[in-house]
Structure 1
Amino acid sequence: MAKWLIYAGVVLLLLGVALHYAPGLLSWFGKLPGDIRIESERSRTFIPISSMVILSVVLTILLNLFRR
């Protein structure tokens, strides 16, 4: 389990550095056609369905590559 925590920490560190130095890297997140955004006077609701599907596919591919 310690190895997985180290790997997760490295991935989060790399993601943080990438987002800090390239802020437009994830500008597409939440703006895809299947993402639901409901705004009223008192509340805002955001459901990123398409973005989460794409993120899930990418993470599944990456995890399968690292597993082998």
Structure 2
Amino acid sequence: MNSGKFFVLAGLAMVAVGLALSYAPGLFSWFGRLPGDIRIEEENRYVFIPITSMIVISLALTLILNLFFRR
């Protein structure tokens, strides 16, 4: 696949995610609230490390890309 098609597909995917976040904000409410996500809140400091959420997204993207681009 050439780079032009890739950028068009990536742009369409970003538009789809943006529309989903705009019109269905509860759709991604699970993000950052899974067991294993680290939240540290202090008086004037906030640290958020979404380890489990990133693993779930990585697995989902890997499955999707393997389904579409496997030879």
Q: Mark yes or no: TM-score above 0.5.
A: yes
Match of 1:43 among 41, 45, 48: 45
**Structure 1 portions without partners, runs of 5+:** none
- Alignment TM-score, normalising by the size of structure 1: 0.95
User: CA RMSD for the aligned pairs?
Assistant: 0.7
SS at the partner of 1:9? helix
Alignment partners' CA distance in 2, 1:11 and 1:48: 22
- Alignment TM-score, normalising by the size of structure 2: 0.91
Greater than 6 Å deviation, 4+ residue runs: none
Alignment partners' CA distance in 2, 1:8 and 1:31: 26
Letter in 1 for 2:38: I
**Structure 2 portions without partners, runs of 5+:** none
C-alpha displacement of 1:18: 1.2
Letter in 1 for 2:4: A
Alignment partners' CA distance in 1, 2:7 and 2:45: 37
Q: How many residues align?
A: 68
